Structures are given as C-alpha cells and as structure tokens.
C-alpha cells in the first residue's frame, strides 16, 4: 500500500487507536469498573519493549475494528498531540543529571499492519518505573473520553 507517507508524517492532529485486550478472567487488569464507569488501567499499556503499539486511524480507514486482535477486545483512541504533550516523564537518579523524556508517536509499519506505530520516548527509558509513569498518563488520558469499542462484556 503506497500513500506517499513516511515516519515523519504523523501529525499532531492525527487520531490513533490502542487495543485493550479483552480480559475474561480479569487476571491482566486491563480495565476496571469504578462508579459505573469502565476505566482503562495503566496495565493496558504494558509493552515488553516499553513502546506501546498503536494504529494510525487514517491508515486503517478510521476503523477501530482494525486494531482489535479479537472481536472481544476494546479500543481507545488518542490525538497525537495529547501524547506529545506529556512533558513530565523524568528520571532523577540519586546522583546524576535528571533525564527529561520527550514522548512521540513513530510510524513503524509491520507485515500485515501498515497502520502500526509506537509510542516511544527519547531518549530510551532507563527504568521500568519511568515507563510505568507513562503508562499511568496514557490511562489517565484514555479515561477522559469514551471508548471507541468497549470490551466484550460491556457492550
């Protein structure tokens, strides 16, 4: 698929989707119900490489179903500027210089998913606790709006 785009084309006003895996047995804690609201948990943004995957909506016909691995999964959305505005992720070692992270969305198409992108820091994280702070921010932002698709048990 060629639409003349490259990694630098991820604009601030773009919509991106994040899959929230359906958690039948609630063991992964991807979401919870609080005061009648279905809230995304920070755990839903976990990633082994500390770069959560998202899909660029305009590269998947603005169809959040594209982002689901299973029809049971939920999907939330962000505007890229919301993520890039996260400016308080820092690492302050006991001795040494404070590291301030810049958060960006980088287009990284993969086989079978041209819309695939990642939420990445610059520089790379030096601790999992620093990445946890980003996950908490992402969950907070996601919970300020409606889901694109609710997980199966809430539809």
pLDDT, residue 82, reads 98
Q: Which residue has the tokens 């660029």?
A: 56
Note the pTM of the prediction, 2 decimals: 0.92
Inter-residue contact 107 to 10 (CB < 8 Å): yes
Answer whether 50's CB lies under 8 Å from 125's CB.
yes
The pLDDT confidence band at residue 25, using thresholds 50, 70 and 90, is: confident
Per-residue model confidence as pLDDT tens digits over 109-149: 999 999 999 999 999 998 999 999 999 999 999 999 999 99
Position 1 pLDDT exceeds 50: no
Angle (CA) 146 71 68, round 5°: 65
Considering just the CA atoms, what is the radius of gyration of the chain in Å?
A: 16
Do 147 and 38 contact (CB within 8 A), yes or no?
Answer: yes
Contacts of 51 (CB under 8 A, 6+ apart): 118, 119, 120, 121
C-alpha span between 6 and 33 (Å, rounded): 39
- 44-55: pLDDT as tens digits: 999 999 999 999
Nearest to 44 by CA among 15, 71, 12, 76: 76
Query: Is 34 strand, coil or helix?
Result: strand
pLDDT averaged over the chain? Answer: 92
Q: Which residues 6+ apart lie within 8 Å of 146 measured at CB?
A: none
């Amino acid at each position: 698929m060629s639409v003349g785009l490259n990694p630098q084309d991820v604009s601030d006003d773009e919509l991106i989707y994040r899959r929230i895996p359906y958690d039948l047995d609630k063991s992964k804690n991807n979401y919870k119900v609080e005061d009648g609201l279905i809230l995304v948990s920070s755990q839903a943004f976990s990633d082994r490489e500390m770069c959560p995957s998202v899909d660029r909506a305009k590269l998947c016909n603005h169809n959040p179903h594209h982002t689901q691995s299973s029809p049971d999964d939920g999907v939330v959305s962000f505007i890229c500027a919301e993520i890039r505005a996260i400016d308080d992720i820092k690492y302050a070692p006991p001795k040494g210089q404070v590291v301030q992270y810049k958060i960006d969305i980088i287009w990284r198409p993969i086989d079978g998913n041209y819309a695939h992108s990642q939420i990445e820091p610059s520089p790379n994280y030096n601790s999992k606790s620093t990445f946890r702070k980003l996950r908490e921010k992402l969950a907070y932002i996601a919970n300020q709006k409606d889901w694109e698709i609710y997980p199966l048990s809430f539809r």
